[in-house]
Structure 1
């Protein structure tokens, strides 16, 4: 794969006890060093219109000044230092690079994956939260939509936390379809199946709040019966994956049971879908706080998209997974 990466993202120093640390990127790079066909691209072109099309101008000025003044705690979880503004801009630039690469035909072993931090999917239009300052996936989607050859974009978020920021930003728009797998009841407490969009965006938000203990079979059942049919009917020009790995069975902050192999299977299904509908496929890093589980998940996706056969998932969905699936079908999803 091609990985967007800049050392500048390491300078966002959250402190020794914060789970979203520079060690996350270091661990990914160490693990990828053990594999073949890895290319790093120091993308740094961030279109101004993409950021300002997503985030409020006053908010952007406030964050920039907050960092220039030395940073501190924006809120209880979201920490900044002087370098955070530049790191956040670099992370957003990597996401827009991934979108461009995918739209320009990079696929298979060249599929782009933006390895930026701070992550983005909790950042709303006018506020930072949940470790996030700029909504990288949303900025990438907005950048893609500025192209004449792009009519619509889909985003699949498989971070264990609901991407409230991405949902909020596109909740009343029809040109972005946002779907989220997440653990029910975790921060930030949003993402109910009844949250489906408003106005022009009605039916363009799809939330899958799995109960704790859900795993590979649950994710794949909902993907095959709901997500894939929805995305195929929507026919996006680009699919952006908000790739968080904190639903892993060994991640320290969640209670989900997704395996390393499960991430590879999901990546293979996404590649098959985007090939079928002739859409670009781009990955943007979100969460994942066990260094080994995070890096092994990224490597699994890299190896599968480089041609390694994915794992076989033989398990049946849990009762909780079936209940979520039935709720989505009752809402009318998956039957378009």
Structure 2
């Protein structure tokens, strides 16, 4: 794969006890050091105008002033420093680079993966939250929509937390399909099956809130039986994976049980889904807070594109997952 990476993203300082640290990117780089076919690109940062395409202008100015004054606690969980402003613009720029590389033909071993921080999927139009300041995947998608490069984008979010920001930004848009598998009942508390979009976006949101303990077979069942047919009908030009790795069985802040091999299986499935729609495919880093599990997960995505065949999952999904998936199919009109 080719990875978007910038040293500027290390300058977002969150303090010693915060789980979202620069060590996350350092761990990923160490893990990828001896892998084949790894390339790095330091893409241009997004501009304030770029992020205003999905964020309220007054919020963008407020965040810039907040960082210039030295930062601090934006809220209980979301910490900024003086370097956060440039890091957030850079993270959004890397996501935009990944999406554009994909749509211009980068695939196979050249498939782009944006390694930016701070992450983005919790950032809503008018505020930062959940460690996120600018919604990187949303900026990437909207930039291609605005210049008429694409007509429809699908964003699939496998982070263990629901991407409330991405959903909120595109909830009434028919131009972006948002799908998420996440843990039921944890932060931020959104992402119910009943949330399917409004207006032009009706039917363009898919949420699978799975109970604690969900693992590989559960994620794959939702992907195969709900996401695949939904995206087949939607026919996107580009699929962006909001790739968080905190659903891993050993991540310190979740109760889902996805294995490292599970990320290979999901990557393989998403590649097949994109190919079936002749869609470009790009990955954008979100969460993942165990350094080993995060770096192993990113490495596994890379190795899948480098030719490694995933080991099939021998287990079946939990009954609750089957019920949720059946409900999703009904809500979205999937036959």
Query: The TM-score by the shorter chain falls in which range?
Result: over 0.9
Mapped partners of 1:334, 1:313: distance in 2: 25
TM-score by length of 1: 0.98
Asked whether the equivalents of residues 181 and 208 of structure 2 are also in contact (C-alpha less than 8 Å), the reply is yes
The 5-angstrom pairing of residues 166-181 of structure 1 reads 166-181=166-181
- The alignment partner of 2:52 has SS state of helix
Mapped partners of 1:111, 1:332: distance in 2: 30
Q: Per-residue displacement from partner, 1:180-203 (whole Å, max 9, x unpaired)?
A: 010000100000000111111111
TM-score by length of 2: 0.98
Instruction: Tell me which residue corresponds to 2:38.
Output: 38
Mapped partners of 2:123, 2:169: distance in 1: 9
Number of matched pairs: 335
The 5-angstrom pairing of residues 142-181 of structure 1 reads 142-181=142-181
Mapped partners of 2:302, 2:320: distance in 1: 30
Range that drifts further, 284-293 or 318-327: 318-327
Asked whether the equivalents of residues 242 and 285 of structure 1 are also in contact (C-alpha less than 8 Å), the reply is yes
Mapped partners of 1:274, 1:199: distance in 2: 26
The 5-angstrom pairing of residues 214-225 of structure 1 reads 214-225=214-225
Asked whether the equivalents of residues 12 and 84 of structure 1 are also in contact (C-alpha less than 8 Å), the reply is yes
Deviation, 1:329, is: 2.3
Q: Does 1:183 align with 2:183?
A: yes
Asked whether the equivalents of residues 196 and 331 of structure 2 are also in contact (C-alpha less than 8 Å), the reply is no
- The alignment partner of 1:240 has SS state of strand
Quickly say closer, same or farther: Cα 1:308–1:183, change in 2 above 3 A: same
- The alignment partner of 1:209 has SS state of strand
Instruction: Tell me which residue corresponds to 2:235.
Output: 235
Q: Per-residue displacement from partner, 1:251-310 (whole Å, max 9, x unpaired)?
A: 000000101011111111111121221111000000000000000000000000111111
Q: Per-residue displacement from partner, 1:28-72 (whole Å, max 9, x unpaired)?
A: 000001211100000015255431110011000000000000000
Instruction: Tell me which residue corresponds to 1:134.
Output: 134
Mapped partners of 1:334, 1:245: distance in 2: 28
Deviation, 1:322, is: 1.6
Mapped partners of 2:45, 2:330: distance in 1: 44
The 5-angstrom pairing of residues 256-335 of structure 1 reads 256-335=256-335
- The alignment partner of 1:54 has SS state of coil
Q: Per-residue displacement from partner, 1:177-236 (whole Å, max 9, x unpaired)?
A: 000010000100000000111111111111010001011101111111110111111011
Mapped partners of 1:175, 1:8: distance in 2: 31
Asked whether the equivalents of residues 226 and 333 of structure 1 are also in contact (C-alpha less than 8 Å), the reply is no
Mapped partners of 1:283, 1:259: distance in 2: 19
Structure 1: stretches of 5+ with no match in the other structure = none
Q: CA RMSD in A?
A: 1.0
- The alignment partner of 1:255 has SS state of coil
Instruction: Tell me which residue corresponds to 1:28.
Output: 28
Range that drifts further, 269-278 or 57-66: 269-278
Mapped partners of 1:211, 1:244: distance in 2: 18
Asked whether the equivalents of residues 50 and 140 of structure 1 are also in contact (C-alpha less than 8 Å), the reply is no
Mapped partners of 2:246, 2:155: distance in 1: 18
Asked whether the equivalents of residues 47 and 143 of structure 1 are also in contact (C-alpha less than 8 Å), the reply is no
Mapped partners of 1:49, 1:204: distance in 2: 26
Instruction: Tell me which residue corresponds to 1:8.
Output: 8
Asked whether the equivalents of residues 75 and 129 of structure 1 are also in contact (C-alpha less than 8 Å), the reply is yes
Q: Does 1:19 align with 2:19?
A: yes
- The alignment partner of 2:249 has SS state of coil
The 5-angstrom pairing of residues 74-89 of structure 1 reads 74-89=74-89
Deviation, 1:98, is: 0.3
